[in-house]
Amino acid sequence: MRTGVLGGTFNPIHFGHLHPAEEVRQALGLGQVRFVPLALPAHKDNGDIAPPEDRLEMVRLALEERPGFICDAIEIERGGVSYTVDTLSALAEGACRGHELFFIIGADAFSLLHTWREPLTLLKMVNFAVTLRGEQRAERVREAVERGLRGIGAAVTFTKIRDNRFQLIESNKITEFVSVETMDISATRIREIVLEGGGLQNLLPPSVEAFIIRRGLYGRPV
């Protein structure tokens, strides 16, 4: 089975996560997409993050009526700082053994892959599905990734197979670039709206909004 893996703080999960994931699922013919909420993100300030159990429940609620989308608690259950290389390795040896894995990541984050833990291991472990928005172009992103990795002494070369599809010469892994709809939604803005007492229509599933209100998350009075 072809399986996508989408990690994130999901603080909270919103349509800016869900809609691109569906576009990638359809474009690459993925049998499932596993949403993996981070316990403690390695690249973000943890000061304004809802408790892991609440973020996990919001993901579960958001995926309830979305076939092919699965909530995976692997990082929440493990606890501590979440590193993608550890999670993908655990999935490949466990719940996704025998699957062809595609790690779903935005173009901006992919361009900074050299700042992640064991970036070369990641590239050689799984395929990448990189989402492009607006004016972003696959060639420019690929060049940025190669340049960043060279800067830390980890040179790699991607060979172009066809438009938006590259293969890492050092392995048989593929990087697919998928153009997705640009959505003006951010978790930061959603948290601000919650604090202001505003509504979240068209930003996230109603079940997630109801949970935020019920739990009094992000400064919302219960």
Q: Which of 120, 60, 8 is nearest to 128 (CA)?
A: 120
pLDDT tier for residue 155 given thresholds of 50, 70 and 90: confident
Would you call the peptide bond into 41 cis, given omega within 30 degrees of 0 as the criterion?
no
pLDDT tens-digit map of 112-147 = 999 999 999 999 999 999 999 999 999 999 999 999
pLDDT above 90 as % of the chain: 88
pLDDT at 221 over 70: no
Q: By three-state DSSP, how is residue 9 classified?
A: coil
Can you give the pLDDT at residue 46? 56
Domain boundaries, the chain: 2-183
CATH T-level assignment (fold) for domain 2-183: Rossmann fold (3.40.50)
pLDDT tens-digit map of 52-89 = 999 999 999 999 989 999 999 999 999 999 899 999 99
Instruction: Provide the greatest CA pair distance for the chain.
Output: 54
pLDDT at 31 over 80: yes
pLDDT: which is higher, 85 or 42: 85
Alpha carbon distance 83, 1 (integer Å): 24
pLDDT at 45 over 80: no
